[in-house]
Amino acid sequence: MGLLYDDLTICNFDHVYIPQTNLLALPHTWIECEDIEHTNGYCEQDSFRLIAERLHQRRHPGGITFVGNGNYHYVSRTLLQEVDRPFTLILLDNHTDMMTNVPQHFLSCGSWVVDALLNLPLLRHVILIGTRSDLAAQIDPHFSSYITVFTSQQLSETNINTFISSILSSIHTDTVYISIDKDVLSPEEVETNWDQGVMTLAQLQAIVKALIHCSAKIYGVDICGELPVSPLDVFHQDKQMSIRKNEKVNLEILQTIYS
């Protein structure tokens, strides 16, 4: 049924989008977060509240949100708390983001899914796609009834149409939220700051397209997995190529969502 809202939001934690001039040329809301302390990888509660407050600057909840490199994936947890109806989280990620050994009073890029399951009663189910098999096997059994996993190994061994059909048949709510970490993609497709999966961009686009056109309403989509860059990196040819490749993937994902 498509997106409820198609507004584009870009969060600035780490300057990664500043060199992506084609992306920035699109109409968007810019959320400045660079000045918020204690956010890289682990986020303190006060910082988390500040991020949530700034995200309220958007015209609508949901929509499409770019959040930066994978260390900031916990921003998805902020976006999920805006969903006002029962929903399924569909997470395309090389990792589960379901660590349970995070220090108290912190949210992390590796634990936000667990926090969401524990604290958001409207989140009914989580579907992990493209996740490493060894990490999927480490998910706390306490959450097993709330999780469906389609591993990177299954992706490699299954026809993509069959794979997508299995995903769609696992959705049992009228509303879906999609979170994409580009580390689910093969290193041949894009470069991130985390170990990466085996998914091709074409496979990712096929999955996203099927979700956008399925019978469920898409409340929102967020995208992370940028390659961190320093101001000097933009002058290095190899970094310029990585930036361009990341931007190209971002634009192709957007085109898939909007098509």
The answer to whether 193 touches 41, Cβ cutoff 8 Å, is no
Q: Looking at 18-159, list the stretches that DSSP marks H as alpha helix, in order from N- to C-terminal side.
A: 21-24, 45-55, 75-80, 112-119, 133-136, 152-157
Q: Looking at this protein, which amino acid is placed at residue 207?
A: I
Of the listed ranges 13-22, 25-34, 95-104, 240-249, the least confidently predicted one is 95-104
The per-residue pLDDT for 229 is 82
Instruction: Answer yes or no: is pLDDT of 164 > 80.
Output: yes
In terms of Cα–Cα distance, which of 134, 147, 141, 137 is closest to 91?
147
- Could you tell me the pTM of the whole model? 0.96
Model confidence at 100, pLDDT cuts 50, 70, 90, reads: confident
The answer to whether 205 touches 248, Cβ cutoff 8 Å, is no
Instruction: Answer yes or no: is pLDDT of 82 > 80.
Output: yes
Model confidence at 210, pLDDT cuts 50, 70, 90, reads: very high
The answer to whether 51 touches 13, Cβ cutoff 8 Å, is no
The per-residue pLDDT for 154 is 96
CATH superfamily name and code, 8-258: Ureohydrolase domain (3.40.800.10)
Domain boundaries, the chain: 8-258
